[in-house]
Amino acid sequence: MIITKSKSKLVTIIIHVLIWAVLGMLFFFQPLTLNIAIPYQLWVKNGITFILLVVAFYLNSFVLVPKLLLKNQNGIYLLAAVSVVAVIAIFSSYVDDWLNLHQLMDAAFHKGVPQKHRPHGHHWDPFILASLIGTSALVMGISTSITTIQKWQHDKQVHQEMEQDRVTSELSFLKAQINPHFFFNTLNNIYALTLVNANTSRKAIHQLSRMMRYVLYDTQNATTRLSQEIAFIKDYISLMQLRLTDVVKIEFDSPTALREMAIAPMLFLPFIENAFKHGVSATQQSHINIVVEQKNNVVELIVVNSIIKEQSNNLEEGSGIGLNNTRRRLDLLYPGKYTLLIDDNTSENIYSIHLTLDLS
């Protein structure tokens, strides 16, 4: 973000330098094309006018546009802008008189022409007045355009930063909910194991500690490696299997030649948790099939599980915060880059999810 702001300031400085370079050429080089002997008073006049235009530019940029135009006081702003142009024109005419520039320029234009044959009036007056008014209006217009564009860009950037902060806070909140939810369910399973087999429960605690290290330390960043996420799923499945009987069939399949990619951590876990919560029974035949596939930059997760009657009441509510939060995380992290299909086929007692995620 600091780099972006520095680039923006550099671009602004370059634009201002270019503007004044062009105007400087207009004021200090254009008179050289007149093919006359230029009196030094003209350079004094042009220097004063140039300073007036600089003052008008930044007066408009820092005062008139922010205080009037951007606060919808368009009429007052237009009147103020016209007044600035008028003040420059009037002050310039006084400078002309002070420097006696009218006569000096007329003399330069009609050098060699007897005084009695010179045209009445000042050849210089209408040219300089029209040029000055046009240049002043141009400077005010450029100042207004640059200031309004910069204000629009600033407001857009602030909005994006606020939106990013909001998304980051919401994602942190969602992940903070998922982690305790996972540990709560897993500890309940280990507690059940302690009543049956102490050795198995010790193995489960050791396995859980490895998983906790991943959750507490390896998922602090926005993304983790796909291989780590799959390894975490394998550990979770292995831990859940410790308390299951032979009536439950668990199948897990993942790519043998996995191409490493970055993925949001613990994105798959709620779907698998949901399968174990509603798809296994200690007495009934049940099954869970979990497949992770990778095709170029697309990763797919397919989870199919049986529905146990006594556990099937309102699967969406029964899944707790897991599935709801995961949907929200997908919306925030991968907008327009994922599809999630959920099929609750109660007639065949099958519940399936199919997540397709584009990680490009």
**Domain end call among 161, 182, 210:** 161
pLDDT-based confidence at residue 302 (cuts at 50, 70, 90): very high
Mean pLDDT of 321-329: 75
Residue 179 domain flag: no
Residue 168 domain flag: no
Based on the domain organization, do 104 and 224 belong to the same domain? no
Is pLDDT at 249 greater than 70 in this prediction?
Answer: yes
What lies within 8 Å, CB to CB, of 167 at 6+ separation is 332
Is pLDDT at 229 greater than 70 in this prediction?
Answer: yes
Per-residue model confidence (pLDDT) at position 115: 47
**Domain end call among 143, 161, 179:** 161
Domain that holds residue 77: 2-161
Based on the domain organization, do 148 and 31 belong to the same domain? yes
Q: Would you tell me how many other CB atoms lie within 10 Å of the CB of residue 134?
A: 11
Per-residue model confidence (pLDDT) at position 131: 79
Percent of the chain with pLDDT over 90: 20
**Domain end call among 161, 183, 215:** 161
Phi, psi of 292, deg, nearest 5: -115, 125
The 10s digit of each residue's pLDDT in 93-116 is 787 778 766 666 555 554 544 444
Measured CA to CA, the distance from residue 324 to residue 327 in angstroms comes to: 5
Report residue 6 as tokens. Answer: 């520095």
Least Cα distance to 227 among 277, 164, 294 occurs for: 294
- What is this structure's pTM? 0.54
Based on the domain organization, do 149 and 290 belong to the same domain? no
Mean pLDDT of 59-75: 91
Q: Which of 9-18, 95-104, 196-205, 261-270 has the highest mean pLDDT?
A: 261-270
Q: Are 279 and 288 in contact (CB under 8 A)?
A: yes
**3-class DSSP state for residue 259?**
coil
Per-residue model confidence (pLDDT) at position 338: 92
Based on the domain organization, do 342 and 224 belong to the same domain? yes
Sign of the CA dihedral with 235 first, then 239, 245, and 247 last? negative
Is pLDDT at 177 greater than 80 in this prediction?
Answer: no
pLDDT-based confidence at residue 57 (cuts at 50, 70, 90): very high
Burial per residue of 251-290, b for 16 or more beta-carbon CB atoms within 10 angstroms, e otherwise = ebebeeeeeebebbbbbbbbbbbbbbbbbbbeeeebbbbb
Per-residue model confidence (pLDDT) at position 313: 47
Based on the domain organization, do 153 and 285 belong to the same domain? no
pLDDT-based confidence at residue 31 (cuts at 50, 70, 90): low
Residue 181 domain flag: no
Per-residue model confidence (pLDDT) at position 76: 93
Domain count of the fold of the chain: 2
**What element of type H or E holds 127?**
helix 124-194
Based on the domain organization, do 18 and 140 belong to the same domain? yes
Q: Which of 129-138, 141-150, 197-206, 239-248 has the highest mean pLDDT?
A: 141-150
Is pLDDT at 308 greater than 70 in this prediction?
Answer: yes
Per-residue model confidence (pLDDT) at position 354: 94
Based on the domain organization, do 145 and 263 belong to the same domain? no
CATH code assigned at 279: 3.30.565.10
Based on the domain organization, do 242 and 112 belong to the same domain? no
Is pLDDT at 134 greater than 50 in this prediction?
Answer: yes
The four Cα atoms 148, 152, 157, 159 give a dihedral, to 10 degrees, of 140
Residue 264 domain flag: yes
Residue 190 domain flag: no
Based on the domain organization, do 287 and 337 belong to the same domain? yes
Residue 173 domain flag: no
Based on the domain organization, do 10 and 129 belong to the same domain? yes
Per-residue model confidence (pLDDT) at position 355: 94
Percent of the chain with pLDDT over 70: 71
Is pLDDT at 151 greater than 70 in this prediction?
Answer: yes
Please state, rounded to an integer, the average pLDDT across all residues of the chain: 77
Is pLDDT at 4 greater than 70 in this prediction?
Answer: no
Task: Give me the amino acid identity at 189.
Answer: N
Based on the domain organization, do 278 and 354 belong to the same domain? yes
Residue 119 domain flag: yes
pLDDT-based confidence at residue 117 (cuts at 50, 70, 90): very low
Residue 207 domain flag: yes
Is pLDDT at 350 greater than 60 in this prediction?
Answer: yes
Report residue 342 as tokens. Answer: 């959920």
Per-residue model confidence (pLDDT) at position 300: 95
Based on the domain organization, do 202 and 145 belong to the same domain? no
Per-residue model confidence (pLDDT) at position 122: 45
Is pLDDT at 291 greater than 90 in this prediction?
Answer: yes
Per-residue model confidence (pLDDT) at position 114: 47
Per-residue model confidence (pLDDT) at position 77: 93
Q: Are 294 and 259 in contact (CB under 8 A)?
A: yes
Burial per residue of 159-191, b for 16 or more beta-carbon CB atoms within 10 angstroms, e otherwise = eeeeeeeeeeeebeebbeebbebbeebbeebbe
Lowest mean pLDDT among 171-175, 232-236, 329-333: 171-175
What lies within 8 Å, CB to CB, of 248 at 6+ separation is 280, 281, 286, 287, 288
Q: 336 — alpha (psi -120 to 50), left (phi > 0) or beta?
A: left
